[in-house]
Amino acid sequence: MTANAYARAVYLGIVKGTVIADRKSAGLEGKKLMLVQPIDEHGAPAGELHAAVDTVQAGDGDLVYLVGSREAALACDPSFVPVDAAIVGIVDGIDAPHPPRGPAPSAPGGKSRP
């Protein structure tokens, strides 16, 4: 995932906090903004911390999935508000294959272990 994870269509993240804003753009009044750390499918950080509008009432520490770019604006009501990321779901679990490990270590004598 790139450093600008929110430019991707759909991605995972962990809510790290709340963004407090007394003044917001038209269409964002009453919307909660959350600070999100993008992650990969194994939970490792995959980009920079950024703000996302919350459409599902996520909380601090929740594993969420987000949409970025134009899809983020469409996730809000009214559509086309000025946002780059929107939380659209709270994840209950992830079932992803583990990344492959390196080559098997060599046994004494130069033979590979099974």
Which CATH number covers residue 20? 2.40.50.220
In a domain, 20, yes or no: yes
> Using 50, 70 and 90 to split pLDDT, how confident is the model at 7?
low
In a domain, 110, yes or no: no
In a domain, 57, yes or no: yes
> Using 50, 70 and 90 to split pLDDT, how confident is the model at 113?
very low
What's the whole-model pTM score? 0.76
| pLDDT recorded at residue 87 | 96
User: Looking at residues 1-30, what average pLDDT do you find?
Assistant: 81
6: CB partners within 8 A, 6+ apart: 38, 47, 50, 52, 66, 68, 69, 72, 84, 85
User: Looking at residues 2-28, what average pLDDT do you find?
Assistant: 82
Determine whether 18 is exposed, middle or buried from the number of CB atoms within 10 Å of its CB (0-12, 13-18, 19+): middle
In a domain, 99, yes or no: no
* Tally of structural domains, the chain: 1
- Domain span including residue 31: 5-90
In a domain, 24, yes or no: yes
